[in-house]
Amino acid sequence: MSVCSHHECNLSSYKDYDKCILHCSKQKLDFFKIRSDFYNALEKYVAENTIDSNGFCYFFGVAFPKPDIQSLINYAKILNTLKQIHFDNCHFFTSYIESSDPELFFQDCIFHERWSIFNAPVLKNVNGVLYQNCIFHEEISSYSEDDGKYVIDSQLFNDCEFKRSIEFESVEFKSPIFNNTGDIDLNIESFHLIDCILKDKFILNRCAIKLFSMEDTIFESKFEFKQNMVSNFEIFNTNYLKVVDTFETKFGKFNIKKSIFDDFVGFEKCSFGEGYSENEFIAKFTYATFLSFVNFRNTNFHSGLDIENINLKEAPNFLNANINEKYSNRETFRIIKSSFDKIHNYIEANKYFAYEMKKYKEELKGTNKTQEKLILFLNEKISNYGQSYIKPIFYMVAASIIYYLLILGYETNILYEIHPSINGSLEKISSFVNNVSKNILPFSKILKAGMEFVSLVFYIIFASLIWQTLVAVKRHTRR
C-alpha cells in the first residue's frame, strides 16, 4: 500500500486515492461509508499532534466532510476536546462545524459548500481574524435562530475571496467584518446585511462587488468604502451614525432610500453610472437624510442625478462635479444651485441655474403657458440663460447691420421700389405706426424721422440684448 502523497504525511493512501483518508478530497466520497475510517484517523492525528499543555492542534491540508451529528462517531466531538485549533490549507466539504469552545483560526482554507458563520473565539494571529486568505466557493450566511440578534464577537475576514454571496441577517457584529491588508484587489459576488447592527468600524476597500445591499441596518462606527467598483449599490432604511467615506469608488446602479446619515459623508472623486447613459442608472437619493455635511466634489454622474427628495441640513459641496443633465430633474439642479448660492459661489450657481431653466422649459412642453415658453425660448437662444455674453453681442452686431441696411434702403427709396403697387397701403400703415411710436415719450426724441416704428423695434431689441450682455458678464464676474 502506498503512502499519502500529501506533504509530510506518513499515513497510507486510502483505497484508490493517492492520499490518505484525512487528506483526500471528499467531494465524490459517500461520507456515511467512510465516517468510521475518517473518525479513527482524525482521533489518532489529534492524539499525536496535540500540544497537551495548551490543547493546541495544527491541521494542515485536512479535508473535512460533513459531520454526522446523529452518530456516535461525529468527528466534531474530537475537535471540541481541543482548546486551540489552527486550520491551514484545509478543505471543507461541509456547511458548518459544530464548535463552541476552541479558539479557531482558518488560514488559506477552501470552503466548497455553503458555509454558515458561527461565533467562535479567535486563535491569536497577526491580523486577529477568524478567516485569513480563504476561498469560499459557495454562499456565506449567518442568521439569528430566535427573536433576538445573533452576536458575533470576532473579526471575520482578511483578504478572502468570495465566489458567491455573503448574507447576514439579524446579526450584531461587535468587531469589524473585514480586516483586509489593502495590498491586493478582492472580489465579492454580492454582500447583504439585513436587520444588523455593526458596533465597530466597517472597512472594505479596493474590492470589485456585483451587488452591495444594506437593509434595516445600523452602523454605529465609521463606514469606509474606498476605491471599490460596485455594479449595484442599494441602501434601504439604514442609519449611519459616524463618518461615511466612499472616496474614488465607482458605482453602476446606485440607490439610497429612507436612510439617515448623522455625520460627515464623502463621495469625493466618485463615479456614478460609469459606462452607462440610461435612465435606470441615475444615482438616486430618495428620502435620504443628511444631518451633517455631504461632499460630492470632483464627482461624475454619468447617467444623471436625482436628489429631488433628499433632506439636507447643510449645503452640499458639488464643486467640479459633472452631471449628465439629460436624466437629471429640475429640482436636483435647483438644490445644487441653491447650495452654491449659500456659499456665495455665484459663478457655479449660475451654471446650474441654466440647467434648471432648461429642465423647466422641458416641463412646459404640452402645456398652454405660451408666455413662459416664449420667454424661456428667447432667453436660451440669446444668452443660454445668462451663461454667454458672446451670443447677445453677436446678435447686436447683426441687428445693427440690418438696421443700417433698412435706413439705407429708406433713404434711397429702395424699399418703395420693391413692390410699387402696394406702396399706398404701406404708406398708410407706416404713417399710423410711426405716429403711435412718436407718442412713446422715452423714445420720441431719438427715433429716426419717417422710420419711427422700425427705430422703436430695434431700440427695444438693442436694449434687450444690452441687458442680456450685462447679465451674462455680471454672472461671470460677480463676487
Tens of pLDDT, residue by residue over 461-470, are 878 877 877 7
Burial 22-37 (b: 16+ CB within 10 A, else e): bbbebeebeeeebbee
Q: At what angle do helices 370-383 and 346-363 cross, to 10 degrees?
A: 140
Q: Compute the average pLDDT of residues 279-287.
A: 91
Q: What is the side-by-side order of every strand in the sheet holding 244-245?
A: 202-203, 223-224, 244-245, 265-266, 294-295
Number of Cβ within 10 Å of residue 253's Cβ equals 19
Q: Are 166 and 138 in contact (CB under 8 A)?
A: no
Q: Is the pLDDT reported for residue 143 higher than 80?
A: no
Instruction: Give the cell for residue 128.
Output: 486577529
Quick check: 319 pLDDT over 70?
yes
| Helices 346-363 & 330-342 angle (0-180, nearest 10) | 160
Q: Residue ranges of the domains in the chain?
A: 382-477
Write down the pLDDT at residue 443. 63
178 or 280: whose pLDDT is higher?
178
What gap in Å lies between CA 82 and CA 389, rounded to an integer? 81
The pTM is what?
0.82
Give CA–CA dist 191/466, Å, rounded. 59
Q: What is the pLDDT of residue 434?
A: 67
Check pLDDT > 70 for residue 96.
Answer: yes
- pLDDT value for 414: 64
Q: What is the pLDDT of residue 65?
A: 87
Strand-pair category, 271-272 with 250-257: parallel
CA 12 – CA 182 distance, rounded (Å): 42
pLDDT of 189: 92
* Average pLDDT value for residue range 47-64: 87
Q: What would the mean pLDDT of 170-192 be, rounded to a whole number?
A: 91
Query: Which position has the higher pLDDT, 357 or 213?
Result: 213
Q: Which residue has the higher pLDDT, 422 or 101?
A: 101
Cα 402 to Cα 420: distance, rounded to the nearest angstrom: 22
pLDDT at 32: 72
Question: pLDDT band for position 141 (50/70/90)?
Answer: very high
Please answer whether residues 119 and 97 qualify as being in contact, where contact means their C-beta atoms are separated by less than 8 angstroms. Answer: no
C-alpha to C-alpha distance for 244 and 265, rounded to whole angstroms: 5
